Amino acid sequence: MEKVIFIEPEKCTGCRICEIVCSLNKEGAVDPQRSRIQVVKIDSISLSVPVVCQQCYDAPCVAVCPVGALSRDEAAGIVSHDQDLCIGCKSCVAVCPFGAIGIDTKANKVFKCDLCGDDPVCVKFCETRAIQYVDANTLSLRRKREVVPNLADLLQKHTTQSAV
């Protein structure tokens, strides 16, 4: 079963617990700068969005990496990053559509989310379940179930009109 990180920004409270626990788990310190997940906040429109690697199937970062340090690991369902091969050229940082790849200025390498080996710490700590780790196969139908009630009014109106 392939599982994916699924983010619902409307549930995010902007508490940044995900940044605290990710960096603590990965770096042994609270270090939002080196957290694999970061919350972007836009106060003027009351919006907070956790941003993290989407583990793309056809990932621009993999395509652009000149030394093959990034590759799609199908078994793990992630885009994996080999620190030993990485030359720190940051091409991946430039092409990622989400800004999900960070630069570690201490190690002179880039870093990204690896789903904590199929057990993402950020998900465990997210109180509002704005960040979830879910089965990729059922996600789509689940979303449909969530969206359809919003359409119900419209559909009913349409049905009534057709009947008339």
Partner 1 sequence: MNKKIGYVNLSVGEVEEASIPESLRRLYLGGRGLNTYLLFNHLEPGTDPLSPENVLLIGAGLLSGGPVPAGSRTDIAAKSPLTGIIGDSNMGGFFSAELRFAGFDHLVIKGKSEKPVYIWINDGQIEIRDASRLWGRDTLETMDLVRQELGDEEIKVLCIGPAGENLVKFANVRTGLKNAGGRTGMGCVMGTKKLKAVAVRGTGELEVKYPREALQYYKQLQNQIMGSKTARLFSIEGSLMQYNPTNTTGILRVKNFGLNRMDDLSLTPDTFLKKYSLGSTACFGCGMHCRHKWEIKGGRYKGLRGEGPEYYTLMALGNVVYNRSWDTLLAAQSTVDKYGLDLAEAGNIIGWAMDLYNRGIISKSDTDGLDLDWENSSGVLIPLLEKIAKREGFGDVLADGIRSAVERIGRGSDQYAMEVKGLGMVGTDDRAVPSLALGVATSTRGADHLRSRPATDLFGLPEKFTEKLYGFPVSSDYNAYQTKAQLIHYMELLYEVVDSLGICKYQTIFISPTFPQYEEYSKLIHYLTGLELSVVDLRNIGERCYTLERLFDHREKGIARKDDYLPNRYYSEPTPSGVSKTRGKFLDRAEFDKMLDEYYCLHGWDFDGIPKTETLAELGLDREPSHML
Site membership for partner 1, residue 30 (CB under 8 A): yes
40-59 footprint of partner 1 as x/- string (CB under 8 A):
---x--x-x-----------
- The residue from 9, 32, 60, 77 that contacts partner 1 (CB under 8 A) is 32
Among 2, 33, 83, 143, binds partner 1 (CB under 8 A): 33
Q: How many Å apart are CA 84 and CA 69, to the nearest integer?
A: 8
Q: Is 133 in the site for partner 1 (CB under 8 A)?
A: no
Which one of residues 4, 8, 9, 25 is an interface residue with partner 1 (CB under 8 A)? 25
Nearest alpha-carbon partner for 3 in 115, 126, 145, 128: 115
Among 7, 15, 93, 139, binds partner 1 (CB under 8 A): 15
99 φ, ψ (degrees, to nearest 5) = 70, 30
- For the CB of residue 48, give the shortest distance to partner 1 in the complex, in Å: 7
Whole-Å CA distances, 7 to 15, 78, 95:
15, 16, 21
CA–CA separation, 1 vs 13, rounded Å?
Answer: 30
Measured from the CB atom, the residue of 30 and 139 that comes closer to partner 1 is: 30
Q: How far is the CB of 63 from partner 1 (least distance, A)?
A: 29
Number of chain positions touching partner 1 (CB under 8 A): 27
Spatial neighbors of 73 by CB under 8 A, at least 6 apart, are: 79, 80
Bridge partners (DSSP) of residue 5 are: 133
Owner of token pair 């617990």: 17
